[in-house]
Structure 1
Amino acid sequence: MTFSKQLNVQEFLDSRPFCAFHWKILLLGLAVLILDGFDVVAMGFIAPALIGDWKITRAALGPVLSMGLFGLAIGALAGGPLADRFGRRRVIIGAVVFFGLMSIASAWSPNIAVLSVMRFLTGLGLGASQPNAATLASEYAPKKHRSLMVTVIYCGFTLGAAGGGFLSSYLIPLHGWQSILVVGGVVPLVFAVALFFVLPESAKFLAVKHEGRAALARIINQIEPAAVDASTELVTAERGHAGKGAIRLIVSKPHTTITLALWVGLFMNLMTVYFLNSWLPIIVKDNNFSLADAALVGAMMQVGGTLGNIVIGWKMDRFKAYKVMIGMLLGAGIFTVLLAQLNVGLYGLIGLVFLLGYCINSTNTGWTAMAANYYPTEMRATGTSWMTGIGRFGAISGASIGAVLLSFKWDFGQLFLALTVPIGIAIVAAYVQGRRCTNVAPVLCNATTH
C-alpha cells in the first residue's frame, strides 16, 4: 500500500489537548485503583471480626497480612513483562478478573492457612493491575499532563481504602466478614466486563509492535476525528527490542543506574510509609493519647497523602521531576525531625502528620510517574512494574522493622528520627536518577527547564 502522508504516533499523543478520550482513560484507571485499594486493605477491615469468629490471636493474622504483601510484590514483577509482551489491556483485564475470583474464593476459606494462600493469590492480581493501569494512562496522557494523570489515578487507592472502611462498618455487622471479600470480588468481575468493551490497548504499544493498524487508527480518530485515513502511514520513533527481554533491557546500559536509583528510591519510600501505616497509631497511643486520637492522627496522614498525590503530579509536569521529588522528600525529613523534637500536643501532632503524609505519601506516586516518563514503550510496563515490585519488599521491610524497633523500647522521638535514614537515602536516589536521566535521555525525561 502506498501512503501519501505520515503520522508520528508518539508525537501525536504527546501533543494532543486533554479531551473526552483522556477522561475515559483517567476514570477507568482510577476505578481499577479504587478496586485495588479496597481489596488490598480488606484484611484490615475484617481482622477484628475474623479474630472473634475463629477464636484466634492477633499474632495469628500475621501470615495472612504478609502473604498478601508478598503477592503484591510478585504480581508487580510478573505483570510488567507480560504487559510489554502481550499488551497492557490484556494484562489489566486478566489481573482484575483474577483478583476478583480469588477474593470471592477467600470468603470460603476454612482456616488461616488457606486464607493466607488465597490472599497471596489475590495479591498477584492486585500487584499486576496497579502499575499497568498507571502505565497505560501515562502512554495516552499529553506530555504536559502526564505526571498529573498518573498521580491522580493513584488517588484511587486511598479512595478505595476509605470506601472499604465505610462499607465494612455497614456490611460486617449484618452479613459477616465474608461479605467484604465477596463484594471485593464480585464488583471487579462486573467491572472487568466493562473494561473488555471500553478499555483500549495502548496506542504506543500497538505502534511499537507494528500490529493492529486498524485498531490503532480507530483509537487515534477517537482522540482527533479524521486524523487517520487509508492514505496515512502510522510511524513511531520508538523501536521494538527485537526479542531482547524487557527485564534485561531495564538493567542494561544506559538504563542501569537509573533503574537502580528508581528501585532504591521507591524501596526506601515504601519502607517509610508502611512503617507509619502499620505502627503510627500504636506509637501515638503509647505517647499518652487515646485510641480515638491515634486513629485521627493516622487518618490525617492519608488525607495529606491524597492531596499531595494531586499536587506532586501538577508540579512534576511543570518543573523537573527529580527536583520536585527532592523538595518533597526534604519536606518529609523536616517534618519527621520536628515530630521527633517537639512536644506539640494533639492538634500540633495532627498538623505535622498531615504535612508529613502530604510529602511522603505523594512521593510514592512520584516514583511511578518518573518511571513511566523515563522508560520507552518497549520496556515501560516492565520498568514501572519491576520498580513497584521491588518497592513492595520495602513495604514488607517497613512493617517488620517497626516491630523490631518497638521491641527495643525506643521512644517517640527516636522512632521518628530513625525515619530520616530511609528518607535521606531516597533523596540521594532521586538526585542520582534525575542527573543521570538528564544525561542519558532528556527527551524521555521531563525536559522542561525552569
Structure 2
Amino acid sequence: MSAVEQFNVQDFLDTRPFGAFHWKILLLGLSVLILDGFDVVAMGFIAPAIIKDWHVSHAALGPVLSMGLFGLAIGAMTGGPLADRFGRRKVVIGAVCFFGLMSLLSAWSPNLAVLSAMRFLTGLGLGASQPNMATLASEYAPRKYRSTIVTVIYCGFTFGAAGGGFLSTYLIGRHGWQSILLIGGVVPILFSFVLMFAMPESAKFLAVKHGGRQALMRVLNQIEPFVADASTAFVTTERSHTGQAAIRLIARNPHTTVTLALWVGMFMNLMIVYFLNSWLPIMLSGEHFSLTEAALVAAMMQVGGTLGNIAIGWKMDRIKAQKVMVGTLLGAGVFTVILAKMSFTLAGLTAMVFLLGYCTNSSTTGWTAMAASYYPTEMRATGTSWMTGIGRFGAISGAYAGAILLNLKWDFGQLFMFLTIPIGIAIVAAYISGHRNDTMMPMLRNAPSQ
C-alpha cells in the first residue's frame, strides 16, 4: 500500500463479509452477557434459601434486591463515559472482573446489610459490562448485520438467567445458597483473563481517538490479512470533539431529541418488563392458577422474549428500525388489551403471554440496537450506557408500581390495562427517535480527516 493511499476505517468495517473474526466477537459478547444474566438474577433464585437460613421476612430482603438494580443503573451511567474516554475493552474486562470479585465476596456476607452493599457493588460491574460489550460488538459488525449481532448478544442474558435457575435447583440443596454466588464470582474472574487475550479494542474507537496505531493495524489485519501496513494513512468519516465530555455531546444538539426519546423509550420498556417479571406469577395466582401453572406461563414470556430478540435484530437490519420498533410495541399493546379484556384457558393464556414476551422483551433489546446504530463512535458507549442506566430506573419503578397497584387490590384486567400507558409512551418515543434520526443523520457526518 502506498504512502499516499488513505484507508477509511469506518467504511472498511461496515462493508466486510461476516467472517471468523466477527464470530469471535459475537461469542465473546454472548459469553459476557451469559455471565451477566446469571449474576443479575442470582438473588431471585437464592432468596428463598436466604429467608429460611437467616430467618428473615420477604420484606427484609427487599433492599437487597433493589440495591442490585440501583447498582446496575449507576454502573451503566458510569461505565459508558469511561469507555468513550479509555476504550471499550478496558472497561468491559475491568467490569467483568469486578462484578465477579464482588459476587465472590458476597458469598461470605454475614448479614443483610453487608449483602445489600455487596449486591450494589456487583451491580456496578454488571451495569458497566452489558452496554459496553454491545457497543464494542456493534462497532465491529458489518452494517447489514449490526442490529442482529447486538440483539443476539443480548440473548445471552436470558441464557444466563435460565442457567442460574437450573444450577440453583441442583446446587442450593446440596451446597447452600452461597454456592451460586461462588460460581457467579469465580467464572467471571477466570473469563476476564480470556478477554484480556482474546478481545481487541474497538477499531473505530482507535481510529477516532487517533491513538494506538499499531493496535489498529493488528486488528484490521486480523479481519483481512495484509490490508494495512506501516505506510497506511488511516482516516475516518466521523469527527472527534477533542476534550469534550461524551455526556455533554449526547445531550446537546443535534442529539438532544433522540437522546431524550431513547431514554423515555427504554425507561417505559423496562418498566413494563420488570412489572411483569416481578408480579406476573402473583397476578396469575389471583386468577386461580396454581403456582406451578403460573411459573410455566411466566417462563413462556422469557422464551418468547428470547426468540423475539433474534427476530427484531434480523428485521431491523432489513426494515427501517423505527417501523420495526413501533410495530413491535403496537403488538405489545394489542396483546396487553386482549389479556385485560378476555378470559383464557391455561393453554390460551400461555400462548398470549408468549406473544407479549416476544414483543416486550425484544423491544427492550431493540432500543439498544437503535442507540448503538445512532450515536457516533466518540459518544456511542456513553449514549448506549446512559440510555440503559436511565432504563434501569424504569425497571425499579415497574417493580414498585406493581406492588402499589396490587396493594390497592387492582384485578388482573386493571393491571394489564395500566401497562397500556407506558406502552403508548414508548410507541411515541420510538416514532420520535426514528423520525429525528432520519432528519439529523446527514448532520452527523463530516469530511474524512486524518
TM-score, structure 2 normalization: 0.98
Distance 2:349 2:443 in 1: 43
Q: What is the one-letter code of the residue matched to 1:345?
A: T
Are positions 1:237 and 2:237 aligned together? Answer: yes
Query: Any residues of structure 2 matched to 1:82-121 within 5 Å, and which?
Result: 82-121=82-121
Query: Any residues of structure 2 matched to 1:274-313 within 5 Å, and which?
Result: 274-313=274-313
Distance 1:166 1:76 in 2: 28
Distance 1:22 1:2 in 2: 28
Distance 1:334 1:185 in 2: 41
Per-residue deviation at 1:437?
0.6
Q: What is the SS of the residue equivalent to 1:234?
A: strand
Q: What is aligned with 2:356?
A: 356
Q: What is aligned with 1:252?
A: 252
Please say if residues 246 and 378 of structure 1, whose CA atoms lie closer than 8 Å, have aligned partners that are also in contact.
yes
Please say if residues 269 and 364 of structure 1, whose CA atoms lie closer than 8 Å, have aligned partners that are also in contact.
yes
Structure 1: which 4+ aligned runs deviate by more than 2 Å? 442-445
Q: What is aligned with 1:417?
A: 417
Query: Any residues of structure 2 matched to 1:20-419 within 5 Å, and which?
Result: 20-419=20-419
Distance 1:153 1:200 in 2: 17
Please say if residues 373 and 444 of structure 1, whose CA atoms lie closer than 8 Å, have aligned partners that are also in contact.
no
Q: What is the SS of the residue equivalent to 1:183?
A: helix
Q: What is the SS of the residue equivalent to 1:287?
A: coil
Distance 2:186 2:442 in 1: 44
Please say if residues 2 and 232 of structure 2, whose CA atoms lie closer than 8 Å, have aligned partners that are also in contact.
no
Q: What is the SS of the residue equivalent to 1:289?
A: coil
Q: What is the one-letter code of the residue matched to 1:354?
A: F
Distance 2:360 2:45 in 1: 24
Please say if residues 330 and 427 of structure 2, whose CA atoms lie closer than 8 Å, have aligned partners that are also in contact.
yes
Distance 1:442 1:334 in 2: 35
Per-residue deviation at 1:231?
2.4
Per-residue deviation at 1:325?
0.1
Distance 2:36 2:243 in 1: 32
Q: What is aligned with 2:429?
A: 429
Distance 1:330 1:47 in 2: 35
Question: Percent of aligned positions with the same letter in both sequences?
Answer: 75
Report the count of equivalent residues. 445
Per-residue deviation at 1:444?
7.0
Q: What is the one-letter code of the residue matched to 2:356?
A: L
Please say if residues 374 and 444 of structure 1, whose CA atoms lie closer than 8 Å, have aligned partners that are also in contact.
no
Q: For residues 225-276 of structure 1, what are the alpha-carbon distances to aligned partners after superposition, in whole Å with 9 as ceiling and x for unaligned?
A: 1111222211111122110110000000000000000000000000000000
**5+ long unaligned stretches in structure 1:** 446-450
Distance 2:435 2:4 in 1: 42
> CA 1:408/1:439 → structure 2, altered by over 3 Å: closer, same or farther?
same
TM-score, structure 1 normalization: 0.98
**5+ long unaligned stretches in structure 2:** 446-450
Distance 1:47 1:242 in 2: 47
Distance 1:108 1:140 in 2: 40
Q: What is the SS of the residue equivalent to 1:41?
A: helix
Please say if residues 71 and 127 of structure 1, whose CA atoms lie closer than 8 Å, have aligned partners that are also in contact.
yes
Q: What is the SS of the residue equivalent to 1:181?
A: helix
Q: What is aligned with 1:448?
A: none
Please say if residues 66 and 396 of structure 1, whose CA atoms lie closer than 8 Å, have aligned partners that are also in contact.
yes
